[in-house]
Amino acid sequence: MDASSESNLALPATTVETYYEQLVSLYWYQLRAFIARRVGNPQDAEDIVQEALLRAYVALERYPVQRRQTLKARPWLYKIAWNVYCNYTGRSKQPPSVPLDLSDESPVLEREDDRFVQPEVAFEHVEDRQELEILVATLPQHYRDVVSLYYFEDLNYQEIADILNQPVGTVKVYVHRGVRLLRKALAIEIHEVR
């Protein structure tokens, strides 16, 4: 979801419940896919996202209207989901490596419907994304998380830094180095195919 979608939220001049319902409808599937890529189990991913959204609701109830109006909901929700995920895995920062589920039923590979894309083009995009996710899964953990948040979740450097409690400079370096490692892996893969 891009920034324009977030600006479409009816800011909490309405009730907390209405605002929360809008957050859930906008971000449920994104958060579930984000967590599912890490835990590999759809049920665990749903449990983690439900817990994160429950925590978000409790926090929203406590926030004054002014804070809710200036809240950048998307990165805030990702940070809550990341923290619940870290608590779930029993780790403070680095999650364990999980094999990527590439089955047709996998919620990890769900895409938003785009009625203007031809089926062949959409299929190629899904295949490209699957290949990229497989390559990203081979990165060292600290690069994998940052690259995934940057490219798959479309978060900016500052948002990632806030989520992972890392300096922005470190996030930038990790994205750059992670992409460089991906390019090397892709070059090796292409060379082996030839």
**Where residue 120 sits, what CATH number does that domain have?**
1.10.10.10
Domain boundary among 58, 92, 126: 92
Q: Which domain holds residue 60?
A: 1-92
Residue 103 lies in a domain: no
**Within 10 A of 170 (CB to CB), how many other CB atoms are there?**
15
pLDDT for the residue numbered 66:
81
Number of domains in the chain: 2
Does the residue 100 lie in any domain?
A: no
For residue 104, being part of any structural domain is answered with no
Q: What is the pLDDT of residue 141?
A: 81
Rounded to two decimals, what is the model's pTM? 0.64
Together in a domain, 133 and 163 = yes
Same domain, 76 and 118: no
Instruction: For residue 105, give Cα distances in angstroms to 22, 119, 133.
Output: 26, 18, 16
pLDDT of residue 50: 93
Residues 137 and 83 in one domain: no
Q: Is residue 9 included in any domain, yes or no?
A: yes
Based on the domain organization, do 44 and 6 belong to the same domain?
yes
Assess if residue 107 is contained within a domain. no
Interatomic CA distance for residues 33 and 153, integer angstroms: 9
Sites in the chain below the pLDDT cut of 70: 1-14, 91-129, 191, 193-194
Is there a single domain that holds both residue 76 and residue 11?
A: yes
